[in-house]
Structure 1
Amino acid sequence: MDSSEQQDNLTESSGCAQAALFGPFQLIMKDGAEVLISNRRARAMLAMLCLAPDEPIDRDHLSRLLWPGRFEAQAKASLRQCLSDLGKLLAAADCDLLDISRSRIGLKAGAVRTDLSDLHDLLTEGKYLEATERLVSIGAIPLLDQMNYGEAFDDWLSVHRQQAEQRLQSAVSVALSALEKGDNLSEYARLSSLWSVRHPPAQTIADRKQGKVRIAVLPFKSIADPADHGFFADGVVDELITSLGQVPQLLVAGRTSSFQFKDSDKPPSKIADTLNVSHLLEGTIYRQGEQVRVAVSLVDAESGFESWAYCYDGSLDDMFAARAEVVQAITNGLSDALKLTEHASQPRKLTSDRKAYGLYLQGRALTIRAIGDGVLPTAIELLEKALEIDPEFAECWTALAEAEINMTVFTPCLDRLERCEKAAGYAKKALCLSPQQAHARIVLAFYAWTQNDIIGALDLAFEAYRLEPNNPDVLNRVGSFLLYCGRSRDALPYIEASIDQDPVNGRNYAILSGVHLNLGNIEAAVEAGQRMVDLGFPSLWLAAALAVSGDREAAIETYQLTKKLMNTVIYPPAGSAPLNPDAMDAYWLMAAKGLWSGKDQDRKNYCMVLEMLHATLHDPCDSTIVLPAIWMGEAPMVFKTLGTQITTANFFAFMSLWTNAEPINRVRLHPDFMDFVERIGMVAAWEKYGWPDLLPKPSTII
């Protein structure tokens, strides 16, 4: 919040000063002037008192918090000097704030208003419109951001942050209840959405696991007409995963991981261990002509025994028409079997046309698969045919939007920006038909990145999270977007929660490896990268983690192996011809050495190649250029690629900007870096969601 906003807030506030607690601490006088406190510990002390204004702090305790490691006499002397300096500064500003005794230091009653207390008062006084406007400016910015004076101080700050957030949570809950009772649904939705951004991520993610039953819905066996290909069975499973995911007491394994065990002969206990669940839902769909039977059973993973079963018999037309009721019956039966409280799930807006539904299921299956020659064009064709039959099929519009996004990410298409814009249009159509869809918002968030609207992308991701907090794909997107903005600590809980539910989805481990690399957890970064490789995916981040760990030879070897891990199918950059095998081997060796050997000549050779690619490729901002440029600390190349055009195929490279290791950090430390991030909309996002872990807000630098 800037000084002009503070001045507006002071016009109706008591006290002689206003303190900003969200973000870096600031003290603003009634005339709008900021009191510049150059003594860092004096500023921290005043910030602590403002965060807990009714709790005077013991002098001895305060000296230990702010001067850890010093002898007691030295710490006390430092505190006396700090108080003297602060007292003179406040006296010069004609601001009498402190209440000091021989044993304690506190604030005089009513001397200071804070943005925290103002927000709380607006909520409790029923001024909900003003409260939501405050939340817009506050966003996810932490209380007293970028203060660190040792472990004891961190513990004190963590406790008081949590207490403050809990008080706000109580006020928001009361406000939401009042808005709901008054049928003020638009204000309710806005306040709820904005508060979902404010939730402390680590606490929210940790709480979601407590007391929940972990379950996986395995792909149903389909004993049917060979022409059916099991798509109908997959559709029932998909709807079950969605329905069960809305039961508060359940934590449901992600679709990607569950479908790894399609037609698996592994015993239930082994599957459950891999998916980290206690129960498995198995099923079989028998089909003969137009007659169908659905048999479902709940299996206790530890004992292997069936604890509940359900069976439905009818015609295919009956089954299709009644599938929502069948899914709800299974959900209710499971809830009874597991002794869970009842919960009414919201059915998705699907279609009443069997043919359109069949085309949708086939197209969506290919969209999720993504990789493979002709896979995504076929998916798009199938989904478009389904929409020709039923243009009101909201889920199909979302699936088509996702297919177009996947085309821009996983294929070397020449029209990425146009396809991304089409995808955004499809997602908007889906939301017009069914406003509660989380995935449609994620597609719009992808598009927002390409428009340098990073605030918009984060807003959409958090709104998707509010709608589907137990969806591992949504969790992954929230975490990865925070990671791209340099908020690695905030990102980690979301990524871990996503993997906790979807542990066999190899792509997620690249994000996890990147998070740990940014946080300096090198062993964990190597482990996550290796897990990705074990699941059959290429892990460029394993090579990066190995290089940062100091094992350059292993990094070079691992980077070269990427080609084999991609099953020798490497798409050339858009508009370029594929290399022959010898040329490809030579390219990967040169790239690996340029990135990870640590030798200047190897780096120069690869930089020359990147310059050539930038000058000749159809897409001069291709990830083939962007990611190596970041890893080599080649700042000018980063600025003229990502600074020119962010695409859905290159914006994942942002995650590597925040690794605090040579030579990567040359980009962040480059004198033109701040101009670059300002130009692409990153600074605006930081102002709302908090500044990066590695980059203090400029106004706080002394």
Structure 2
Amino acid sequence: MKAGAVRTDLSDLHDLLTEGKYLEATERLVSIGAIPLLDQMNYGEAFDDWLSVHRQQAEQRLQSAVSVALSALEKGDNLSEYARLSSLWSVRHPPAQTIADRKQGKVRIAVLPFKSIADPADHGFFADGVVDELITSLGQVPQLLVAGRTSSFQFKDSDKPPSKIADTLNVSHLLEGTIYRQGEQVRVAVSLVDAESGFESWAYCYDGSLDDMFAARAEVVQAITNGLSDALKLTEHASQPRKLTSDRKAYGLYLQGRALTIRAIGDGVLPTAIELLEKALEIDPEFAECWTALAEAEINMTVFTPCLDRLERCEKAAGYAKKALCLSPQQAHARIVLAFYAWTQNDIIGALDLAFEAYRLEPNNPDVLNRVGSFLLYCGRSRDALPYIEASIDQDPVNGRNYAILSGVHLNLGNIEAAVEAGQRMVDLGFPSLWLAAALAVSGDREAAIETYQLTKKLMNTVIYPPAGSAPLNPDAMDAYWLMAAKGLWSGKDQDRKNYCMVLEMLHATLHDPCDSTIVLPAIWMGEAPMVFKTLGTQITTANFFAFMSLWTNAEPINRVRLHPDFMDFVERIGMVAAWEKYGWPDLLPKPSTII
């Protein structure tokens, strides 16, 4: 169909917006409401596919035009028309669903790690691969909410009763399975368990050779998905198969490499993961999911290890993600990797665009939900971020890292008790106590904040690492450093703060990475604006950009950064102002029309 050959209400609306005819545009939006482009037109599957793409493109163009219009109305102090256009647009594009909305009418299920009764050399990788494919497939069924992999895999080899596991994972059903393997013969036995009663309500079994199972695994996963849909009285939904490989050896290497990528923490874990994934791609260079896994492994290297080549690895990861998307354009995780890279290039608009595109593709993926929420949080849009973050944790409640984001967003919104609770939950799950300390300090309990902050040193070289290129500290020196840091951050005494600021200056001058997170985050918490500007303003990395979320806590001395006269130049330079123009200004900054 030739572009421009057909005029629609939506194209007319777009023209009115771009021409600045906002009153007429608003009236047109009243008549359109939430009706999609070319509604109720049905000319077959090919036309439907074409229309789906063009509907998305039309909505993206409209979103951009509406954002520009709202900004213009706001700057012109035309607040009544601004409110009307904003309200009408929210009908067409409602904000992120609340937890209650997401739960309504959906069955909540967790796919538990399958037991593997097989050759010990297999290490359960094959079983984990089947579970991963099931989580992906079931996640595409609209009437299901599937627990996140990180949380589900906490119960690998667990002897807890189904009701206890289901309660922890916020689900009503559990999918359990066992893979029996003897030589080249394999049996997959799967059962659906009602968590409340503990009774099996559906079962499936597959018998065959390993070659047959490998060749037919997509059909097996689809059969399980369809069987579950029938058992739970859901509308069947044909899942989009992932771009996997037909080579058994490549698949085995991929499963091992991906398992290590997810694990991330430990000496040699990620380098080994990268080596395995690269070997898999040597065998099958068209293996799209493996390219994505390799991209994620490289990103994890930049975040969870003290590597000396973060920027180079991040650029490599972006290249791998692009390769994955060339082979399999519907991948959400590859877009998230590219979004990480976009942050390092000061392309925050691009990062948000990619995150929202990933969300459109996989709206029930807790990892994607977390990234959308965290990116909004980093930009100061804490209220908009909260529903995404809560939705992510609702599906992935035993993923400790998510609670740092939840604690941060509650702290920014002034929900101090909730921030403390989320920070404590993070600690209970074995992760650093930094955000709990921040929440305690803002609550006024400085002594508890100092004590809590120091607990993080117990996780050194396990969950967190010293700065890249730095020599390890002996126990006495480590104790002294963490005490000095804790007091500098949370005692409220100027001399303690000055002492720690001097240390940050020394670290900035001597570390291999002068923008390391061990400098950036404390600088924000102490309100040391010049240090924030010369670190994040010089280079955003995948290891330091999470610190942005703490910029938006309305407390002293953090406010000193945001209120510094050079702050607007800083955020303009890193591309954040441009992102605000498109996605909305931060909760704590005045509207553009009031900035002098």
- Tell me the TM-score normalised to structure 2 length: 0.86
1:552-599 deviation digits (Å, cap 9, x = unpaired): 000000000011245766522111111111101100000000000000
User: CA separation in 1, counterparts of 2:325 and 2:371?
Assistant: 19
Distance 1:128 1:257, change over 3 A: farther
Q: Which has the larger radius of gyration?
A: 1
User: CA separation in 1, counterparts of 2:445 and 2:50?
Assistant: 39
The 8 Å contact of residues 140 and 688 in structure 1, kept in 2 or not, is answered as: no
Instruction: Give the Å deviation of 1:696.
Output: 1.4
Instruction: Give the Å deviation of 1:508.
Output: 0.1
Q: Corresponding residue for 2:351? A: 457
The answer to whether residue 77 in structure 2 is matched with residue 178 in structure 1 is: no
Secondary structure (helix, strand or coil) at the match of 2:98 reads: helix
Secondary structure (helix, strand or coil) at the match of 2:186 reads: strand
The 8 Å contact of residues 465 and 474 in structure 1, kept in 2 or not, is answered as: yes
The 8 Å contact of residues 193 and 463 in structure 1, kept in 2 or not, is answered as: no
The 8 Å contact of residues 447 and 491 in structure 2, kept in 1 or not, is answered as: yes
Instruction: Give the Å deviation of 1:327.
Output: 0.3
1:605-641 deviation digits (Å, cap 9, x = unpaired): 0000000000000100000000000000000000000
Instruction: Give the Å deviation of 1:341.
Output: 1.0
Q: Corresponding residue for 1:143? A: 37
Secondary structure (helix, strand or coil) at the match of 1:113 reads: coil
1:151-202 deviation digits (Å, cap 9, x = unpaired): 9999999999999999999999999999999999999999999999983334
| Match 1:331 to one of 202, 225, 247 | 225
Between 568-577 and 241-250, the greater mean CA deviation after superposition: 568-577
The 8 Å contact of residues 412 and 572 in structure 1, kept in 2 or not, is answered as: yes
Instruction: Give the Å deviation of 1:133.
Output: 19
1:4-50 deviation digits (Å, cap 9, x = unpaired): xxxxxxxxxxxxxxxxxxxxxxxxxxxxxxxxxxxxxxxxxxxxxxx
Q: Corresponding residue for 2:473? A: 579
Instruction: Give the Å deviation of 1:410.
Output: 0.5
Structure 2: which 5+ runs fail to align?
A: none
The 8 Å contact of residues 522 and 549 in structure 1, kept in 2 or not, is answered as: yes
The 8 Å contact of residues 67 and 581 in structure 2, kept in 1 or not, is answered as: no
User: CA separation in 2, counterparts of 1:312 and 1:607?
Assistant: 63
The 8 Å contact of residues 201 and 494 in structure 1, kept in 2 or not, is answered as: no
Distance 1:398 1:113, change over 3 A: closer
Instruction: Give the Å deviation of 1:698.
Output: 3.1
Between 407-416 and 154-163, the greater mean CA deviation after superposition: 154-163
User: CA separation in 2, counterparts of 1:227 and 1:329?
Assistant: 28
Instruction: Give the Å deviation of 1:699.
Output: 1.5
Secondary structure (helix, strand or coil) at the match of 1:141 reads: coil
1:657-680 deviation digits (Å, cap 9, x = unpaired): 000000001000000000000000
The 8 Å contact of residues 635 and 670 in structure 1, kept in 2 or not, is answered as: yes
Instruction: Give the Å deviation of 1:697.
Output: 2.3
The 8 Å contact of residues 146 and 696 in structure 1, kept in 2 or not, is answered as: no
Between 577-586 and 686-695, the greater mean CA deviation after superposition: 577-586
Distance 1:165 1:420, change over 3 A: closer
Distance 1:585 1:523, change over 3 A: same
Identity value in percent: 100
Distance 1:166 1:395, change over 3 A: closer
User: CA separation in 1, counterparts of 2:579 and 2:64?
Assistant: 27
Moved over 6 A (4+): 107-118, 120-198
Distance 1:176 1:509, change over 3 A: closer
Distance 1:146 1:699, change over 3 A: farther
The 8 Å contact of residues 108 and 146 in structure 2, kept in 1 or not, is answered as: yes
The 8 Å contact of residues 265 and 462 in structure 2, kept in 1 or not, is answered as: no
The answer to whether residue 76 in structure 2 is matched with residue 198 in structure 1 is: no
User: CA separation in 1, counterparts of 2:45 and 2:279?
Assistant: 60
Distance 1:587 1:172, change over 3 A: closer
Instruction: Give the Å deviation of 1:511.
Output: 0.1
User: CA separation in 1, counterparts of 2:38 and 2:390?
Assistant: 25
Q: Corresponding residue for 2:519? A: 625
Between 136-145 and 264-273, the greater mean CA deviation after superposition: 136-145
The 8 Å contact of residues 383 and 400 in structure 1, kept in 2 or not, is answered as: yes
Instruction: Give the Å deviation of 1:210.
Output: 1.4
User: CA separation in 2, counterparts of 1:163 and 1:426?
Assistant: 25
User: CA separation in 1, counterparts of 2:564 and 2:19?
Assistant: 48
Q: Corresponding residue for 1:608? A: 502
Aligned length: 596
User: CA separation in 2, counterparts of 1:149 and 1:547?
Assistant: 62
| Match 1:511 to one of 381, 405, 409 | 405
Distance 1:431 1:132, change over 3 A: farther
1:84-107 deviation digits (Å, cap 9, x = unpaired): xxxxxxxxxxxxxxxxxxxxxxx9
Q: Corresponding residue for 2:267? A: 373
Instruction: Give the Å deviation of 1:112.
Output: 27
User: CA separation in 2, counterparts of 1:499 and 1:674?
Assistant: 33
Secondary structure (helix, strand or coil) at the match of 1:503 reads: coil
Secondary structure (helix, strand or coil) at the match of 2:190 reads: strand
Instruction: Give the Å deviation of 1:539.
Output: 2.4
The 8 Å contact of residues 363 and 383 in structure 1, kept in 2 or not, is answered as: yes
User: CA separation in 2, counterparts of 1:447 and 1:309?
Assistant: 44
The answer to whether residue 193 in structure 2 is matched with residue 299 in structure 1 is: yes
User: CA separation in 1, counterparts of 2:553 and 2:129?
Assistant: 41
The 8 Å contact of residues 254 and 502 in structure 1, kept in 2 or not, is answered as: yes
The 8 Å contact of residues 438 and 464 in structure 1, kept in 2 or not, is answered as: yes
The 8 Å contact of residues 75 and 592 in structure 2, kept in 1 or not, is answered as: no
1:519-563 deviation digits (Å, cap 9, x = unpaired): 000000000000000111112110000000000000000000011
Instruction: Give the Å deviation of 1:497.
Output: 0.1
Structure 1: which 5+ runs fail to align?
A: 1-106
Distance 1:265 1:567, change over 3 A: farther
Distance 1:189 1:302, change over 3 A: farther
Q: Corresponding residue for 1:685? A: 579
- Tell me the TM-score normalised to structure 1 length: 0.74
